[in-house]
Structure 1
Amino acid sequence: MANDVTFTRPEYDAAKSRWRLVRDVCKGSETIKAAGELYLPRPNAHDLSDENKERYKGYKARAVFFNATGRTKHSLVGAVFRTWPTLTLPGALDYVSRDIDGQGVSIYQQSQSVIGHLLEVGRHGLLVDYAAVEAGTVSRADEIAGRARSSVSSYPAEAIRNWKTRRVGGQHLLSLVVLRETVDVDTEDGFGSEQVTQYRVLRLDAAGIYTQEIWQQGKSATELVTPPFAPLNGSGLPWTVIPFQFLGSENNDTSIDDSPLYDMAEVNIGHYRNSADYEDAAFLMGQPQVFMAGLDEQWVKLLEEKGIYFGSRAILPLPANGSAGILQAQANTMIKEAMDAKEEQLVALGARLIERGSAVKTATQADSDSAAEHSVLSLVVNNVSEGYTQCLAWMVEFTGATGEAEYKLNQDFTQISLDANIMAGLFNAVQGGRLPVTDFWQYLRDRGVINPEKDDDQIRDELQTDATGLNLDDETGVKADGRQSSDP
């Protein structure tokens, strides 16, 4: 087709199944079981009878999905935000700490979500734009009144359907990005709403000018609803780059990176399938089976009429030479051993919440054990920090503001604690002139005692302000500071 805005790149199509697997596993048991045979094959799949369908329902219902992958993701995100990020902004962008996307989501909340996405699929995108502005026409008065603000919109990997680059001078620049969006449209009665799919096309035209256009998917075709327009920067000039930032688990280029949690998700599904077999076997074979031998037809009819009762107070009549007993299946640990082996694999892949070691580890041992996970997480965190810093620079250009803009996430993922003896020693060193007070403040910033966004001058000013205090005289005529009062 000449204008197929719905086109997707081959590498996008190849990655979709991997992305869905990790996404579904992280969502948990309800999503996995709702997918049915996609993750849990039906026993005797060739048997299409109603009886086999009912058996599969029970087989799936008894299976236990233990979401080690999702718990690991949340644990890693929590480790990043154990220490609060550092945000440096010019005054015109103060609102970013409270609302970065125009919908009340702060940069801290948005970046938490972005890190989770990168851990799941290894890919994400951020678009810097003016929120709810048509044709890119924004006046300075609109900015001051808050009617228009530069914003950062977050796009999951599945929404970034097409992209291209071209060489301009000595660098490769984005020349095309197609983003799939879903918008709510009110129904005619004004009460309900329906979701409509649209495609936002970011393009660098032949003249090197950045434009946007919007296509909307209708019942019969996808049509252009917003013709191309050129957003303007704070100086009223068109952009010569597309302000869209790719984020990845390995680097921030346009290529699709590997999912850090994909291997865990695969093992997690294998564990789920083993659990289904294990629980099904326990259900079928765990119940005792009664047998009787030596009964003729008359005895069989008699027992059917009278019923059979078991227990220490019940009498079970049998004919001469008759016998009764209970069949009990022998323990079969093969499936359980397979589950245990997969749990060990999950631990090796980074599922720290599955099993805690019985021995107390030293800090050095803990750092060594988690080095592999931390190296992957550190790379993700560094990419997110760099990506948001670039987006903030674009926001500065959009608003025409001046000043430094930076966002830096914590990369020390070990458990942070305060040691009273160390604190006392450092404080004494400061008082004795052997340690600069600014280094002591940095130590407290790293442990969350001091707001990491406060610089040394702010801390010094606050301490000087708080140090004035009350200067009351005591009953003996001696002032609170120890000097003799001149009053009678």
Structure 2
Amino acid sequence: MANDVTFTRPEYDAAKNRWRLVRDVCKGSETIKAAGELYLPKPNAHDLSKENAERYKGYKARAVFYNATGRTKHSLVGAVFRTWPTLTTPGALEYVSKDIDGQGVSIYQQSQSVIGHLLEVGRHGLLVDYAAVEAGSVSKADEIAGRARANVSSYPAEAIRNWKTRQVGGQHLLSLVVLRETVDVDTDDGFGSEQEIQYRVLRLDAAGIYTQEVWQEGSAVTEMIVPPFTPLNGSGQQWKVIPFQFLGSENNDTSIDDSPLYDMAEVNIGHYRNSADYEDAAFLMGQPQVFMAGLDEQWVKMLEEKGIYFGSRAILPLPANGSAGILQAQANTMIKEAMDAKEEQLVSLGARLIERGSAVKTATQADNDSAAEHSVLSLVVSNVSEAYTQCLAWMAEFTDATGKAEYKLNQDFTQISLDANIMAALFNAVQGGRLPVTDFWQYLRDRGIINPEKTDDQVRDELETDSAGLGLDDETGVTGNGGQPSNP
């Protein structure tokens, strides 16, 4: 077992079924229905006849999957990015705002995806690496051209198969991480592609030096295809830590945290099963059934030959003492009530898109409700901000860059609004020397009026430039500067 790179930890095995449930629910109806009996048990499962199999197809097709969980996830991610994040980097890392992973994905797009993963399964991983063109031959020109630079690769929980830590001094450091990767390989004709599985192994060796190796999974055996090598930082020194960052819904340690959306996903599946029964009952019993009584064999034969026309303009002949009528099933609200109860449960778990409360709330009540609903989201966002700030620091170390590196996501999920009275009071406080202008600019940054990535110096320079070039008095020649043009 010690040499089995495909080994998975017991807690990983225990969590993967929960992860699959939430992942599938968030993907929506097509994925849920494709899973068949996993999420929708077959009625009369002991009946293996072809007729029962055909009935199950119709039973599943009529079921309606209402994806409250997936919609909730998207709305929560949208709430985070209602206000744009603040990114501060050294000049050498400015490219992360457009491409952080070497595949054209910006730090903003990647962090949106990471938040979604954490809401689904409560776990994720980020690996900081340096894509060099050739060992020992990286030049500054290579870095500028993008042929060699630090990047951050994103790994879902399912890809992080094994991990270990060990105590070094007063710290518990990662000593092993095994990542399962899927790579596309072109076929011989140059058009198609095939997928191969490989395992990237990150280690701290016995001397405390970080190494990487790659194993490839074959049909018969999994073997090493890239022997251990030692990445170097921007100063040419060996790494003493593994630059891999775990992220969780509770904290960023190596343990597996709970999935924030798991409870919703369970209720969502229950709602789907109720829907299948409800739609099946409506299909079987919802249509009216005509019946006739008092017919002898002669009348039955005649009606079979001529057919029966039923409706307000059709004449239905009957023998003496014969009768006809319509059977209509009475409404059975039990299944519908079960669905309604689950919808209320989904609302209480955070599915605001299903049903909005009609009661008028005060501003205080709305703020309190929002704080309660988004408390888990706030923790997730805080963990993501800290993780990316650490990754940016590692990227700076890879490129030997100096300067502040920080990524801060919005944690105020209430609807941002501008109050004219507050704005006027703050402006007067600035004018009266009672509030620093930089604090006023920060207030505007928080509300999206000023680009949050602009520094105070940039704002000041732009204001000075704009003030010098407005020339509002040039045509009128009135007040302000004695009627003189602003730009002589």
TM-score scaled by length of structure 2: 0.96
Partner residue, 1:232: 232
SS in 2 for 1:468: helix
What's the CA shift for 1:2?
5.0
Partner residue, 2:216: 216
> Does the 8 A contact of 1:124 with 1:156 survive in 2?
yes
SS in 2 for 1:467: helix
Q: How does 1:67-466 map to 2 (within 5 A)?
A: 67-131=67-131, 138-466=138-466
Partner residue, 2:47: 47
In structure 1, what is the Cα distance between the partners aligned to 2:144 and 2:112? 29
Label 1:132 to 1:139 Cα distance change in 2 as closer, same or farther (>3 A): closer
Structure 1: which amino acid aligns with 2:147? R
Structure 2: which amino acid aligns with 1:299? W
Label 1:276 to 1:483 Cα distance change in 2 as closer, same or farther (>3 A): same
Structure 2: which amino acid aligns with 1:294? G
In structure 2, what is the Cα distance between the partners aligned to 1:368 and 1:172? 38
Label 1:313 to 1:141 Cα distance change in 2 as closer, same or farther (>3 A): closer
Label 1:210 to 1:335 Cα distance change in 2 as closer, same or farther (>3 A): same
> Does the 8 A contact of 1:89 with 1:405 survive in 2?
yes
In structure 1, what is the Cα distance between the partners aligned to 2:466 and 2:473? 20
> Does the 8 A contact of 1:135 with 1:231 survive in 2?
no
What's the CA shift for 1:419?
2.7
Query: 1:199-226, CA deviations, whole angstroms, 9 ceiling, x for partnerless residues?
Result: 0000111111100000011222111100
In structure 2, what is the Cα distance between the partners aligned to 1:322 and 1:34? 51
Partner residue, 2:19: 19
In structure 2, what is the Cα distance between the partners aligned to 1:92 and 1:12? 38
In structure 2, what is the Cα distance between the partners aligned to 1:225 and 1:287? 65
What's the CA shift for 1:131?
2.4
Structure 2: which amino acid aligns with 1:94? E
Query: 1:112-167, CA deviations, whole angstroms, 9 ceiling, x for partnerless residues?
Result: 00000000000000000012656687455532443200000000000000001111
Deviates more, 1:186-195 or 1:407-416: 186-195
> Does the 8 A contact of 2:132 with 2:147 survive in 1?
no
SS in 1 for 2:468: coil
> Does the 8 A contact of 1:135 with 1:229 survive in 2?
no
In structure 1, what is the Cα distance between the partners aligned to 2:475 and 2:454? 41
Label 1:374 to 1:475 Cα distance change in 2 as closer, same or farther (>3 A): closer
Structure 2: which amino acid aligns with 1:321? N
SS in 2 for 1:126: strand
Partner residue, 2:482: 483
What's the CA shift for 1:371?
2.7
Label 1:136 to 1:2 Cα distance change in 2 as closer, same or farther (>3 A): farther
Label 1:225 to 1:475 Cα distance change in 2 as closer, same or farther (>3 A): closer
In structure 2, what is the Cα distance between the partners aligned to 1:247 and 1:367? 28
In structure 2, what is the Cα distance between the partners aligned to 1:259 and 1:472? 58
Label 1:167 to 1:475 Cα distance change in 2 as closer, same or farther (>3 A): closer
Structure 2: which amino acid aligns with 1:483? G
SS in 1 for 2:20: helix
> Does the 8 A contact of 2:370 with 2:414 survive in 1?
no
Structure 2: which amino acid aligns with 1:446? D
Structure 2: which amino acid aligns with 1:185? V
In structure 2, what is the Cα distance between the partners aligned to 1:42 and 1:136? 61
Query: 1:366-396, CA deviations, whole angstroms, 9 ceiling, x for partnerless residues?
Result: 1222333211011100100111111111111
> Does the 8 A contact of 1:184 with 1:195 survive in 2?
yes
Label 1:246 to 1:473 Cα distance change in 2 as closer, same or farther (>3 A): closer
> Does the 8 A contact of 1:136 with 1:229 survive in 2?
no
> Does the 8 A contact of 1:125 with 1:155 survive in 2?
yes
> Does the 8 A contact of 2:132 with 2:138 survive in 1?
no
SS in 2 for 1:418: coil
SS in 1 for 2:469: coil
In structure 1, what is the Cα distance between the partners aligned to 2:136 and 2:267? 48
Label 1:325 to 1:485 Cα distance change in 2 as closer, same or farther (>3 A): closer
In structure 1, what is the Cα distance between the partners aligned to 2:473 and 2:265? 70
Number of residue pairs matched by the alignment: 485
Structure 2: which amino acid aligns with 1:354? I
Query: 1:158-193, CA deviations, whole angstroms, 9 ceiling, x for partnerless residues?
Result: 000000111111111111000000111111122211
In structure 2, what is the Cα distance between the partners aligned to 1:164 and 1:105? 30
Q: What's the C-alpha RMSD, in Å, of the aligned pairs? A: 1.8
Label 1:98 to 1:293 Cα distance change in 2 as closer, same or farther (>3 A): same
SS in 2 for 1:45: coil
Partner residue, 1:35: 35
SS in 1 for 2:354: coil
User: Could you list the runs of 5+ residues in structure 1 that have no partner in the other structure?
Assistant: none
User: Could you list the runs of 5+ residues in structure 2 that have no partner in the other structure?
Assistant: none
In structure 1, what is the Cα distance between the partners aligned to 2:363 and 2:483? 53
Structure 1: which amino acid aligns with 2:205? D
What's the CA shift for 1:431?
3.0
TM-score scaled by length of structure 1: 0.96
In structure 2, what is the Cα distance between the partners aligned to 1:435 and 1:126? 41
